[in-house]
Amino acid sequence: MNTETVWITGTHGFIGRHLAAYLNSKGCRVAGIGHGLWPEMEAMHWGVSFWLNGEIQQSNLAQLRSIAGLPDVVYHLAGGSSVGAAIANPYEDFRRTVVSTAELLEWLRKHSPHTRLVSVSSAAVYGGGHSGNIAEATSLSPYSPYGAHKLIMEELCHSYGANFGLSIVLPRLFSVYGPELKKQLLWDICTRLESGLVPLVLGGSGNELRDWTDVRDVVRALAMLAMMASESVPSVNVGTGVGTTVREIAERITRVWSQRNGREISVELSGKSRPGDPFSLIAYTVKLDETGFRWKIPLEKGLDDYVQWFCKGNQHG
Amino acid sequence: MNTETVWITGTHGFIGRHLAAYLNSKGCRVAGIGHGLWPEMEAMHWGVSFWLNGEIQQSNLAQLRSIAGLPDVVYHLAGGSSVGAAIANPYEDFRRTVVSTAELLEWLRKHSPHTRLVSVSSAAVYGGGHSGNIAEATSLSPYSPYGAHKLIMEELCHSYGANFGLSIVLPRLFSVYGPELKKQLLWDICTRLESGLVPLVLGGSGNELRDWTDVRDVVRALAMLAMMASESVPSVNVGTGVGTTVREIAERITRVWSQRNGREISVELSGKSRPGDPFSLIAYTVKLDETGFRWKIPLEKGLDDYVQWFCKGNQHG
């Protein structure tokens, strides 16, 4: 992987910055594009040698090329990142997830057809009604506009693979958490704990099952999956295959928090499920396993690290 | 259906103008939006009381509303209309088919959620590998970017039906022909015959099977299917269920032509299949049959009428 030039869309986001740091540590030159003000020193800290704050569209991609050179691999992480936001403003989610991908695919088709594309999708494409480990070949019926747009993104990639020979792989991420994640369950729990509002009351039944993955493992998986990019556009679950309930996560976090802060806190669940929220999303992992990829960070350590990061004042590093 | 206000996107196109004339004859007020210069008198001739020449996007839809009032039904015909053009410029086809639909759905969600939407799709979503009548529930694997974008259009509609309660129906059109069609097989044959280049040599093997439907029947089907629009977003094949080869069509057209012009012309096939061209696309028609819809124009009469229209100098009317 040494001396490769890689581009990351959405570099400024939670997963993007971890991926940039990882690829940079492996010797890649990393250029990024997407939304977000990012002081040069901060971007450099994350291993990003050039950051273009702008939409993913033809003229910006041309500018990125003129500065960073053609990419060997593009990691496409830009896109909508919240089910709730997609329900509130579906057209914005469509633009971020679908139109950005159409722009990127078209640019690659015209200007860099041999670049490998890792176009990052989500377990949200599976939708609800699942009870065990979900294989990639399962029929897709997303629950929310967020999931629908990810599915559409995948289909655009299939079209550009089949019709124009682009080499693409579609990792489907499950519940990614880790330092720098400033939304979703772990963030909400820590924020509520910090505010001192006890007992902790959370939405949902608490029995929702998710496949929790630490971002520091996930970025290694993404880098490995770049090798699998092909015209046949394989999709690959990036999950551990183990489901853990929201309640267990909340209890673990509050226990770690209590140990750090010397206070007993109990967790209560509202019992109301949230719209667009499937009951169970757990990966069937044979395809990922066959690449040789191994998960390194156990859930317990990942959660401990998250609380530690949060309590340090959410500083990066 | 009397006194309904309907909008038609892509009204200026081949199917759009026939649909406008039909709905107007049934007492509807028809307003249209899409690409194309259309002198007011000509638009009026086709039953269109207001025509807005522009992109399907929020501000233009708002303008259409201020002039024509909220629609009871929108017939969404705008979109890419050629497999070849979609292969040559996939991003343009994406914009026409997918982005226009996203804009329309979002506008309806915000401003007219009770409007019924007839979002017109294509048998191209089925792709290749079929040998008999294709049912709507068949798994979809489009062959070309044109078909991929129609499939994506359908999925956007499913998302807005399931997540936001819009009432939508997805007619899947097969091989629509008829007066005003100025491209594809029939047009190519007549144009070649008119130019006097004999024998007539056509692309493909000639054995490709298609389900040929006269536009004057198709617009009646579209009007009827508006009643089926619902949150569950049903898709319905608009085909006769009968397959006829390209060779048979070409021979029929040349026979009619020869009779009119007193010259014997033979048909030859190049034997080379065209990219993005499935071998067989024939509808399974039970869903359409159950609506009570009946086809009225036999293929022989439809082809005769087409040649007659062509020979009259392609005048409308």
The model's pLDDT over A178-231, given as tens digits with 9 standing for 90+, comes to: 999 999 889 988 988 888 877 778 778 889 999 999 999 999 999 999 999 999
Looking at CA atoms only, how far is residue A161 from chain B in angstroms? 10
Q: Is the pLDDT of residue B2 over 90?
A: no
Count of C-beta atoms within a 10 Å radius of residue A280: 19
User: Closest residue of B to A90, CA-based?
Assistant: B106
Q: Rounded to whole angstroms, what are the CA distances from A175 to A82, A246, B9, B295? A: 12, 11, 41, 52
Question: Which are the contacts of A289, defined by CB distance < 8 A and separation ≥ 6?
Answer: none
User: Closest residue of B to A103, CA-based?
Assistant: B91
Looking at CA atoms only, how far is residue B157 from chain A in angstroms? 10
The model's pLDDT over A144-154, given as tens digits with 9 standing for 90+, comes to: 999 999 999 99
A-B C-beta contacts closer than 8 Å: 66
Q: How confident is the model at residue A137 (pLDDT cuts 50, 70, 90)?
A: very high
**Quick one: pLDDT at residue B314?**
60
Q: How confident is the model at residue B317 (pLDDT cuts 50, 70, 90)?
A: very low
Q: Is A268 strand, coil or helix?
A: strand
The percentage of residues in chain A with a pLDDT greater than 70, rounded to a whole number, is: 98
Average predicted confidence (pLDDT) for chain A: 93
Q: Is the pLDDT of residue A304 over 60?
A: yes
Q: Is the pLDDT of residue B276 over 90?
A: no
Q: Is B180 strand, coil or helix?
A: coil
| CB–CB contact B156 A94 (8 Å) | yes
Q: How confident is the model at residue B167 (pLDDT cuts 50, 70, 90)?
A: very high
**Quick one: pLDDT at residue A161?**
98
What's the whole-number mean pLDDT along residues A9-27?
A: 97
What are the chain A neighbours of B109 within 8 Å (beta carbons)? 90
Q: Is A274 strand, coil or helix?
A: coil
Instruction: Choose the closest CB to B163 out of A87, A151, A160.
Output: A87
Q: Is the pLDDT of residue B1 over 50?
A: no
Q: Is the pLDDT of residue A315 over 50?
A: no
What are the chain B neighbours of A149 within 8 Å (beta carbons)? 159
Q: Smallest Cα–Cα separation from B7: which of B60, B45, B85? A: B60
**What span, in angstroms and rounded, lies between the C-alpha atoms of A228 and A223?**
10
CA A290, chain centre distance (Å): 21
User: Closest residue of B to A160, CA-based?
Assistant: B145
B123: tokens are 């048998």
What are the chain A neighbours of B102 within 8 Å (beta carbons)? 91, 94, 98
Instruction: Choose the closest CB to A91 out of B87, B102, B143.
Output: B102
**What span, in angstroms and rounded, lies between the C-alpha atoms of B32 and B17?**
10
**Quick one: pLDDT at residue B315?**
46
| CB–CB contact A109 B103 (8 Å) | no
| CB–CB contact B152 A155 (8 Å) | yes
Distance between terminal CA atoms of chain B? Answer: 24
A58, A159, A277, best to mutate vs chain B, most B CBs in 10 Å: A159
Q: What is the dihedral of CA B257, B258, B263, B265, to 10 degrees?
A: 90
B177, B213 in Cβ contact below 8 A? yes
**Domains of chain A and any CATH numbers:** 5-175+213-242+287-291 (3.40.50.720), 185-209+243-281+297-315 (3.90.25.10)
Q: Smallest Cα–Cα separation from A233: which of A309, A168, A290? A: A168
| CB–CB contact A155 B155 (8 Å) | yes
| CB–CB contact A156 B159 (8 Å) | no
Comparing B127-131, B286-290, B298-302, the range with the smallest average pLDDT is: B127-131
A125, A140 in Cβ contact below 8 A? yes
The model's pLDDT over B7-53, given as tens digits with 9 standing for 90+, comes to: 999 999 999 999 999 999 999 999 999 999 999 999 999 999 999 99
Q: Is the pLDDT of residue B260 over 90?
A: no
**Most confident stretch, A138-142, B114-118, B195-199, B265-269:** B114-118
**Quick one: pLDDT at residue A314?**
60
In terms of Cβ atoms closer than 10 Å to its own Cβ (0-12, 13-18, 19+), residue B242 is: middle
| CB–CB contact A142 B159 (8 Å) | yes
Question: Which are the contacts of A130, defined by CB distance < 8 A and separation ≥ 6?
Answer: A138, A278, A279, A280, A281, A282
**What span, in angstroms and rounded, lies between the C-alpha atoms of A165 and A231?**
5
| CB–CB contact A106 B90 (8 Å) | yes
B107, B153, B163, best to mutate vs chain A, most A CBs in 10 Å: B163
Instruction: Choose the closest CB to A152 out of B90, B103, B155.
Output: B155
Looking at CA atoms only, how far is residue B248 from chain A in angstroms? 30
A27, A20 in Cβ contact below 8 A? no
**Quick one: pLDDT at residue B92?**
97
The stretches of B132-265 forming alpha helices (DSSP H) are: 145-164, 184-195, 215-225, 246-261
**Cα dihedral across residues B284, B289, B290, B291: positive or negative:** positive
| CB–CB contact B148 A163 (8 Å) | yes
The model's pLDDT over B116-139, given as tens digits with 9 standing for 90+, comes to: 999 999 999 999 889 899 999 999
A94, A121, A157, best to mutate vs chain B, most B CBs in 10 Å: A94
* Entry pTM: 0.91
Q: How confident is the model at residue A272 (pLDDT cuts 50, 70, 90)?
A: confident
| CB–CB contact A148 B142 (8 Å) | no
Q: Is A296 strand, coil or helix?
A: coil
Q: Is the pLDDT of residue B292 over 80?
A: yes
Looking at CA atoms only, how far is residue B57 from chain A in angstroms? 12
What are the chain B neighbours of A164 within 8 Å (beta carbons)? 90
A96, A163, A168, best to mutate vs chain B, most B CBs in 10 Å: A163
What's the whole-number mean pLDDT along residues A54-74?
A: 97
Q: How confident is the model at residue B299 (pLDDT cuts 50, 70, 90)?
A: very high
Looking at CA atoms only, how far is residue A37 from chain B in angstroms? 28
Instruction: Choose the closest CB to B94 out of A87, A102, A143.
Output: A102
**Quick one: pLDDT at residue B271?**
77
Instruction: Choose the closest CB to B158 out of A148, A159, A160.
Output: A148
| CB–CB contact A163 B87 (8 Å) | yes
A54: tokens are 């702008």
The percentage of residues in chain B with a pLDDT greater than 90, rounded to a whole number, is: 81
Instruction: Choose the closest CB to A163 out of B103, B145, B155.
Output: B145
| CB–CB contact A103 B87 (8 Å) | no
Count of C-beta atoms within a 10 Å radius of residue A201: 12
What's the whole-number mean pLDDT along residues A50-62?
A: 97
| CB–CB contact B148 A158 (8 Å) | yes
User: Closest residue of A to B275, CA-based?
Assistant: A163
User: Closest residue of A to B83, CA-based?
Assistant: A163
Q: Is A114 strand, coil or helix?
A: coil
**Quick one: pLDDT at residue B205?**
85
Looking at CA atoms only, how far is residue A213 from chain B in angstroms? 28
**What span, in angstroms and rounded, lies between the C-alpha atoms of B230 and A54?**
39
What's the whole-number mean pLDDT along residues B261-274?
A: 79
User: Closest residue of A to B156, CA-based?
Assistant: A148
Q: Smallest Cα–Cα separation from A38: which of A24, A49, A53? A: A53
What are the chain A neighbours of B87 within 8 Å (beta carbons)? 163
**What span, in angstroms and rounded, lies between the C-alpha atoms of B207 and B271?**
9
